[in-house]
Amino acid sequence: MKSKRISLVLPPILVLLLASPAISQTPKLPNVVVLATGGTIAGAAATDVQAGYTSGQVGVDQLLAAVPQAKKLANLRGEQISNIGSQDMNDEVWLKLARRINELTAMPDVAGVVITHGTDTIEETAYFLNLVVKSRKPVVLTAAMRPSTALSADGPLNFYNAVAVAANKDAAGRGVLVVINDWIHGASSLTKTSTTAVQTFMSPLRGLIGTVAYGDAEWYRGPVGKNTVDSEFSLDGVTTLPRVDIVMAYENVDGALIDAAVAAGAKGVVIAGVGNGNMTKAALDALAAQAKKGIVCVRSSRVTTGNVGRNVEVDDDKLGLVASLDLNPQKSRVLLRLALTRTKDPKQIQRYFVEY
């Protein structure tokens, strides 16, 4: 009978490699999934030196192919969720994106997720995901201010850095992150501050979560506010989100737009107030009247930085209003929409603004 033992004859070069202690084996790369939604990072222009361009022209496969260096950081595969300018971001895409991230991050072999997005509403999407994604794994949004065809496009390095952060174990448990222009922002803190500058995103009150230079991350802090696995918000059973509108305060503003928002179906109104969430007496009277009818009314501020505190110049306790604290109007709207899936009680909703 023939022996079943297989004699392994290794070629000399392999023997040498295995015997050499100086040569280590390449560690297995983590699996990162890229979900593309569109934006300038996928935008294209007719020439490389013009301001005009169209968002969402390049598909996810082209995006991946444009940054081959990222394949050394992680095993990448892409999915196209949408291909829109983020000025067109909508609930349908949000729900699809959040659900897909929850599916992917539940898979044991997925280490992290990168989402490519437009810069216009990235702070809203990031904060929404921060509240409804149920995973501690890295979920990282990235974007670009210059289209992919531009001279000195910023997208490729932003994408490379986002993949590096998504593949980095130290990114876990810091909430949903936004990586752009070498900075790592928390979803609740970042805001767009320039219409056109590459250095547009700032985290004014809370500061950066970290920085990342050619894939090398440095960490400064953890997340502020409940997020992801600690968030009590969930999309289970949610098919639509309640309407919440933002009304800006300004010199001589009256209550017409507040009433119009409610007439259009808003269940909540956020005021982008002047200063510390202030507005004219006429607007405040209209707001308080709506609050009395059960519309949840939040005072935020059109000022880029600073807190909107309770009962400072406005008696929130008496009028039944909610103060946004350090959430800007667009993020207050996101939190209020999710809050309204659970309660209409302004006191409980104020607690959400304290905790999230």
Q: Which residues bind ligand ASP (CB under 6 A)?
A: 39-40, 55, 85-87, 118-120, 143, 145
Distance in Å, CB of 145 to ligand ASP, minimum: 5
> What sections of the chain are H helices per DSSP?
12-19, 60-66, 91-105, 122-132, 155-166, 256-263, 281-292, 316-319, 329-339, 346-355
Output the residue with the shortest Cβ distance to ligand ASP.
Answer: 118
Query: Could you say which of 26, 37, 40, 149 is catalytic?
Result: 40
Residue among 30 and 85 whose Cβ is closer to ligand ASP: 85
Contact 52, 45 (CB under 8 A): yes
Distance in Å, CB of 34 to ligand ASP, minimum: 16
Residue among 57 and 231 whose Cβ is closer to ligand ASP: 57
* Token pair listed for 352: 């959400």
Residue among 143 and 171 whose Cβ is closer to ligand ASP: 143
Residue among 20 and 195 whose Cβ is closer to ligand ASP: 195
Helices 346-355 and 329-339 pack at an angle, to 10 degrees, of: 120
Q: Three-state SS for 330? A: helix
Contact 77, 71 (CB under 8 A): no
Residue among 86 and 332 whose Cβ is closer to ligand ASP: 86
Distance in Å, CB of 273 to ligand ASP, minimum: 25
- HSE-up of residue 85 (Cα within 13 Å, Cβ side): 10
Assess whether 54 carries a catalytic annotation: no
Q: Taking Cα atoms as reference points, which of 326, 325, 349, 318 lies closest to residue 244?
A: 349
- Strand partners for 114: 34, 140
Distance in Å, CB of 52 to ligand ASP, minimum: 12
Distance in Å, CB of 87 to ligand ASP, minimum: 5
Q: Which amino acid is at 355?
A: E
Beta strand extents in the chain (DSSP E only) = 31-38, 75-84, 112-116, 139-142, 177-180, 183-186, 191-192, 201-202, 210-213, 216-219, 244-248, 268-273, 296-301, 322-323
The residues annotated with a catalytic role in the active site are 40
